[in-house]
Chain A
């Protein structure tokens, strides 16, 4: 199987990953049929998570593992969930990628992994203050295209 990331990119990402702090678990949800980018997405995230021992990957099938998919509110394939791993416990923050994170989104993925690993959103105090008072769900969907 051909690697998606060349050795130069891997080395760059490995250097960035030196700043990883706490463990992060990536949950991949795919589907055996009618999913053009499932295989590439799974391979991509496997190659990325292999670059640090602070990152781990778990793969699920949207149909076969329907209960897990429902528990994580995942209804699209491929979907990546970026979660904190605290010992045996997986803490879901609600961070999702639907579709392959390629091009510009690849760099978003790498930075998101660092953020989740730091357990710190890095937002301004004003934003943190507002979010700390939230008492109802906010669902953000950001539509992007590969660049």
Chain B
């Protein structure tokens, strides 16, 4: 989790929310979350499943921002 929060701390454009899946089942099923951690970028524009290295999450964000 830390990684997304670190990005929020670094940039005023980034907001990062940890969502405890079992407490918010509607949102969780809306995103079709099956494994955790599961990171959604811009409400599902990209998804990153699993705990990934910083470069990996960064690359996915770059892809979303560029599109």
Chain A residues proximal to chain B, CB less than 8 Å: 36-37, 73, 76, 82, 93-101, 105, 108, 111-112, 115-116, 119-124, 126-128, 130-132, 134-146
* A95→B17 CA distance, assembly (Å): 6
Pairwise interchain contact A122-B1, C-beta atoms closer than 8 A: no
* A119 / chain B contacts, CB cutoff of 8 Å: 9
Given contacts A108-B2, A134-B65, contact A143 B13 (CB under 8 A): no
In chain A, what residue has the closest Cβ to B58? A127
Contact-residue size bin, chain B (C-beta under 8 Å from the other chain): 35 or more
15 contacts between A and B (CB under 8 A): A93-B8, A97-B18, A97-B20, A99-B24, A105-B20, A127-B58, A131-B11, A134-B65, A139-B15, A140-B40, A141-B39, A142-B17, A143-B36, A144-B1, A144-B37
